[in-house]
Amino acid sequence: MLRLLESNPRATKNTKYKLDYIFAIGDNTYFVGEQYREWAVTQRSSYGISNTYWNYEYMDVIVAKLNKAGEFEWVSNTPLRNAITLSNVPHVFKQYIAVATESSIYIIPDSALGIFAL
């Protein structure tokens, strides 16, 4: 669903999406997820030992809405750029916390970027 709401279809070729939150606010259901890219790099030493590093580039937090008419709508892309490299074990991290109130959804980054209200 988040892939279909992407404004640039070419960008979805190498981009993955993960759904992190579903909120019911009024008659609408909101879906909050994140775009990211991942790739592995394997380095071999001259002794034949290899190490694999997983690289993650986290991009936008996407908020989409399923309205009471059953139609999906794009609500917001919040840029939360972050890059992580892990050794040997792939793992996807959530880069933010989302909190819903009766009138808004708040995106709180894990870093010191501030709070974004939608």
Task: Return the pLDDT at 103.
Answer: 85
Instruction: With beta carbons less than 8 A apart as the criterion, state whether 3 and 17 touch.
Output: yes
Task: Return the pLDDT at 6.
Answer: 60
Token pair listed for 107: 């995106």
Tens place of pLDDT per residue across the chain (118 aa)? 666 656 566 666 778 889 999 999 999 999 999 989 999 999 888 888 888 888 999 888 989 999 999 998 888 888 888 888 888 777 777 888 899 998 889 888 876 555 555 5
CA distance readout (Å), 40 to 29, 48, 51, 71, 103 = 35, 18, 10, 37, 41
DSSP calls for 25-83 = ETTEEEEEEEEEEEEEEEEE-TTS-EEEEEEEEEEEEEEEEE-TTS-EEEEEEEEEEEE
